Amino acid sequence: MTDPNETPQAEKLNFPGRHQALSSDSKDHHVCEKWKNYSIRSPYVKFMLESMKKLGCEVNIEKQLICEPCSGKVLGGFDSRSSQIVLCENTIYSPGCMKDVLTHELIHAYDHCRAHVDWQNIKHLACSEIRAASLSGDCFFWKENLARFNFGLKKHHQECVKERAIKSILCVMDVDENEAKNAVESVFDSCFADTEPFDRIPP
């Protein structure tokens, strides 16, 4: 999941932001669909959709990219039980935000297809969150206003990825911060180095 502060939260068997009791606002829904259709033409989103197709997990835009209201402040999430990406029509606030959310969640969907992730396994969860934060743009240096000048660019990117992955785990798993940190550290090097389907961390 991702929240309005662009902090991705973790995925599990069912996207916890989905709330059937929430009613959809027709205006929000229309805007969400408009921004979704705009975003699927962006280079990163288009590349991720093509990569999913190559894996044999082609995304049905109408049935698997779903605009609906969400509880809390999340922007979106991957519902692994239904293989749907939920786009939170009541919190996504711009076309650029929509593009970032789609890219982030498509990385989770890619991992689910490629690696058969057990979202209840803290190390699996940590690995996918590390990859999503690193590859989706969550931690691209021009989006980060704090501590940017305290680290070199590579150092800052890694620290940002770790911080966001830890916060993600804490959002959905009943673990303390030390457990989350240990999980992230235990898989960080291999998962950070895994840039599939990109050749490298996108610029």
Q: What is the DSSP string of the chain?
A: -B-TTS-B----SS-TTB-TTPPPPHHHHHHHHHHHHHHTTSHHHHHHHHHHHHTT----HHHHEEEE-BSTT--EEEETTTTEEEEETTT--SHHHHHHHHHHHHHHHHHHHHH---TTSHHHHHHHHHHHHHHSSTT-GGG--SSTTTS-HHHHHHHHHHHHHHHHHHHHSS--HHHHHHHHHHHHHHHHH--TTSSS---
Indicate which residue of 11, 89, 105, 129 is catalytic: 105
To the query of whether residue 105 is one of the catalytic residues in this protein, the response is: yes
Alpha carbon of 95 to those of 42, 77, 90, 102: distances in Å? 10, 17, 13, 11
Sign of CA dihedral 34, 37, 41, 42: positive
The residues carrying an active-site annotation are: 105
